[in-house]
Chains A and B, each alone.
Chain A
Amino acid sequence: MSNIKGKRYLPEGKHVMMGNVAMSEGALAAGLDFFGGYPITPSTEVIEHLARRMPEVGGVCMQMEDELASINAVMGASLVGAKSMTATSGPGFSLMVETISMAACLEIPFVFCDVQRNGPGTGFVTEPHHNDLGLMRFAGNGEFGVIALAPMNCQELFDLTINAFNFAETYRCPVFIVSDAYLGHLHEPLIIPPKEEIIKKVIPRELPDDLTHKFTYFDNKTKTYIIPKPPIMGTDYVPLMFLHQAHNSSGMSSQREALPFTKMLTDKLTTNIDKISITEEYKIDDAEIIIISYGLPVRTSYRAVDIARKEGIKVGILRLITLWPFPDEKVKDIVKDAKAVIVPELNYIGIIAEQVERVTDLNIPIIKIPKICEFHHPDDILKVIKEVAK
């Protein structure tokens, strides 16, 4: 890739690259200025690629001394107005949760790519296991909302990373990219859109016109949450002090703010769920059996559905791209008349299946297909479809 030296945007057209690299290029296209990381399998290609690419485009890629330092450096960079991100895997993620909680409290935006691997403990480091989804939702102490986006191929790793940066800028919360060991190491073709198209899509970090409010507040007139641009240290647009306690829109903390503040951290996302939530439907209009999935298992589900349709079984897929906040209403609406719901997931307890159970009627059976450290074969899903259809 020597022909792209010094350029932030790759030439448009078809490229073949690894998932982790596609994610890094997506981040660069979204305007990444600072990357702080610590090598951990299977996310190492991200820091390796960015260590070469970031100085070329005038950005900074730092290999910090540990995960705690890297996420704090990312937060520090974001505070002075740099778009920043980090990439890690399970054990690194558990070290970082402390800072995610603080960043959510101060509404400091950054993007967090979690290339998940098998766990608990060290686990099998090059095998996929979607076991960090619960940690993502409840990362750190305190209550707050997060956004998690689950791509399923290299093209989406590129596109959704741009989306993730835009969500971070707009909603000022930690945004996760749900990748995994297989997806991160997958080599696939992808089409890079023209530079102009990307620039039009990206939301830049800039100072707002109105400098009064620094943090999200509830507007009593419109009954909505107004989310101002993130403050930038080194300019006039900073609160009196950054205190990681419940605070009002100017940054002054008080215990009376605790309830409205905690409510705000969750509700600023749930009230905007129409804009945040991305889902895809496949042959769902007349489907009696619904497959709800995300990430890599969706790809095998497509194949299983095509085979089942040929045999006359009415089955469709609801693919979740935004996992958190969970699209309650959407799922409820789709599964209300279903005969059964199948949730193939790369984990045992079914973290998303539990969410589906929460929003569906008790009489609709929810069948989990757990797989760990390996792919679902289309036959695995087809077998369950046939059993349900009987």
Chain B
Amino acid sequence: MSAYPSEQPEHPYLSISMPGKFFKRYLSLFCAGCGYGIIGHLFNRVFEDEKVDPKLHPVVIGIGCYGQILLTLHHATQRILTLHGRAPALATGMKMANPKMKPIIFTGDGDSLGIGGNHFMHICRRNLDCVILIFNNSIYAMTGGQGAPTTLFGAMSSTTPYKMFEPRVDGVKLALTAGASYVARTTVAHPRTLMKYFRKGLKHKGTAVIEIITPCITYFGRKNLDSLGAENLGIKGQKMDNTGIMIDWIKRNSVRINQAKFMTEDELMNKYIIGEFRYDPTKPEYSEEYEKIKKIAMGEK
């Protein structure tokens, strides 16, 4: 290690983020310990390594904490912040008006599974060519830690001060039922897997839904114990008020899809099943099907 910061070699991926390009430094508006910075950086790496054409891959961002990710994204990306929950609908319009495009949709758990559940379900049903990244931090963090449709059973939040008593929605199951052709779930604790899935999603023709479990320490970790998800073991947990404990908890609380096959419903309660759930490149893609309709309408057959 050299003694002077100026002698330290520059990070190979520093200058691809927007603040890196303009100010030669990292910039993030996220809380300490947030997972969105990791996701943003991994996105940038894949974007750069795969030489993704930014003009054909607009980044459509919903409303949530992750909205601030547009500052840390690759400098060349064309990004738009949309209304709460409407990102899939807006991306549908973009893709259909310019079929060469493949929008990348950033959406949160409240955004896509709460307010925008309908749009999410229908973009999966159409199998529109796009990548949907669902950032699941199990809480409405931007507004101050209210309960989300994905909040785990028994967890504390500011609108469920005693405990969460609603069953949670599973984004992956919803995407599978609705008909998305590539469905996967991973966590920020598995960065290489995340990059692998994202690469695969970019190359896949059809809706690629990748749910990413990410920690929120400020509003989820601070209020909850890391025994969450291990209720049947009866252990006494500790508050997840720092990154290490929370990332550890995420790792411990996620079950690989192969293991999950041998587990009962009770054991899987409050667990995250990670892995690839479906990869079906044969399913017809919506905009290609519409091109066929155009040909029929024009009388070309």
Tell me the residues in window 72-110 of chain B with beta carbons closer than 8 Å to chain A beta carbons. Answer: 78-83, 86, 89-94, 96-98, 100-101
The size class of the interface chain B forms with chain A is 20 to 34
Q: Are B101 and A80 in contact (CB under 8 A)?
A: yes
| Chain A residues within 8 Å of B101, by CB | 80, 234
Q: Are A76 and B89 in contact (CB under 8 A)?
A: yes
Measured between alpha carbons, how far is A36 from B86 in the docked complex, in Å?
14
A-B contact count (CB 8 A): 120
Tell me the residues in window 251-301 of chain B with beta carbons closer than 8 Å to chain A beta carbons. Answer: 290, 293-294, 296-299
Q: Are B97 and A241 in contact (CB under 8 A)?
A: no
Q: Any chain A CB within 8 A of the CB of B223?
A: no
Measured between alpha carbons, how far is A34 from B93 in the docked complex, in Å?
8
> Given contacts A72-B83, A243-B81, is CB(A65)–CB(B119) below 8 Å?
yes
Q: Any chain B CB within 8 A of the CB of A64?
A: yes
Q: Are B92 and A58 in contact (CB under 8 A)?
A: no
Q: Any chain A CB within 8 A of the CB of B196?
A: no
Measured between alpha carbons, how far is A351 from B65 in the docked complex, in Å?
41
Contact partner of A68 (CB less than 8 A), chosen from B58, B94, B119, B121, is B119
> Given contacts A6-B299, A79-B80, A233-B78, is CB(A72)–CB(B97) below 8 Å?
no
Q: Are A72 and B294 in contact (CB under 8 A)?
A: no
Contact partner of A56 (CB less than 8 A), chosen from B55, B79, B92, B298, is B298
Distance between B98 CB and nearest chain A CB, rounded to angstroms: 4
Q: Are A65 and B297 in contact (CB under 8 A)?
A: no
Q: Any chain A CB within 8 A of the CB of B184?
A: no
Render A46-83 as a binary contact track against B, CB cut-off 8 A, 1 for contact.
Answer: 00000010011010101011101110111111111110
Distance between B77 CB and nearest chain A CB, rounded to angstroms: 9
Contact partner of A55 (CB less than 8 A), chosen from B81, B94, B293, is B293
Q: Any chain A CB within 8 A of the CB of B174?
A: no
Which residue, of B70, B82, B299, has the highest number of chain A Cβ atoms within 10 A?
Answer: B82
Q: Are A68 and B86 in contact (CB under 8 A)?
A: yes
Q: Are A69 and B92 in contact (CB under 8 A)?
A: yes
> Given contacts A55-B293, A73-B89, is CB(A81)–CB(B119) below 8 Å?
no
Q: Are B81 and A76 in contact (CB under 8 A)?
A: no
Q: Any chain B CB within 8 A of the CB of A242?
A: yes
Q: Are A76 and B93 in contact (CB under 8 A)?
A: yes
Q: Any chain A CB within 8 A of the CB of B204?
A: no
Q: Any chain B CB within 8 A of the CB of A238?
A: yes
> Given contacts A69-B122, A72-B83, is CB(A84)–CB(B298) below 8 Å?
no
| Chain B residues within 8 Å of A36, by CB | 93
| Chain A residues within 8 Å of B93, by CB | 34, 36, 62, 72-80, 84
Contact partner of A242 (CB less than 8 A), chosen from B80, B91, B98, B294, is B80
Q: Are B81 and A238 in contact (CB under 8 A)?
A: no
> Given contacts A33-B97, A84-B97, A244-B81, is CB(A233)–CB(B92) below 8 Å?
no
Measured between alpha carbons, how far is A6 from B96 in the docked complex, in Å?
19
Q: Are A233 and B90 in contact (CB under 8 A)?
A: no
Q: Any chain A CB within 8 A of the CB of B159?
A: no
Distance between B167 CB and nearest chain A CB, rounded to angstroms: 24
Contact partner of B298 (CB less than 8 A), chosen from A6, A98, A234, A235, is A6
| Chain B residues within 8 Å of A56, by CB | 294, 297-298
Q: Any chain A CB within 8 A of the CB of B118?
A: yes
Q: Are B70 and A77 in contact (CB under 8 A)?
A: no
Measured between alpha carbons, how far is A84 from B94 in the docked complex, in Å?
11
Q: Any chain A CB within 8 A of the CB of B245?
A: no
Distance between B16 CB and nearest chain A CB, rounded to angstroms: 15
> Given contacts A98-B83, A243-B81, is CB(A76)–CB(B119) below 8 Å?
no
Q: Any chain B CB within 8 A of the CB of A313?
A: no
Render B48-61 as a binary contact track against A, CB cut-off 8 A, 1 for contact.
Answer: 00000001101010
Which residue, of B83, B101, B293, has the highest number of chain A Cβ atoms within 10 A?
Answer: B83
Contact partner of B78 (CB less than 8 A), chosen from A5, A64, A238, is A238
Q: Are B89 and A68 in contact (CB under 8 A)?
A: yes
> Given contacts A60-B97, A102-B83, A241-B80, is CB(A76)–CB(B290) below 8 Å?
no
Distance between B78 CB and nearest chain A CB, rounded to angstroms: 5
Contact partner of A69 (CB less than 8 A), chosen from B119, B293, B299, is B119
Measured between alpha carbons, how far is A34 from B94 in the docked complex, in Å?
10
Could you list 6 further interchain pairs (A-B, Cβ under 8 angstroms) beyond the known A34-B96, A55-B293, A234-B101? A62-B92, A62-B93, A62-B96, A77-B93, A82-B97, A234-B100
Can you sample 6 A-B contacts with CB below 8 Å? A52-B297, A55-B296, A69-B86, A69-B118, A77-B97, A82-B98
Q: Which 5 A-B pairs have the closest CB atoms?
A: A76-B93, A73-B93, A55-B297, A77-B97, A72-B89
- The residues of B with any CB-CB pair to A shorter than 8 Å are 55-56, 58, 60, 70, 78-83, 86, 89-94, 96-98, 100-101, 118-119, 121-122, 290, 293-294, 296-299
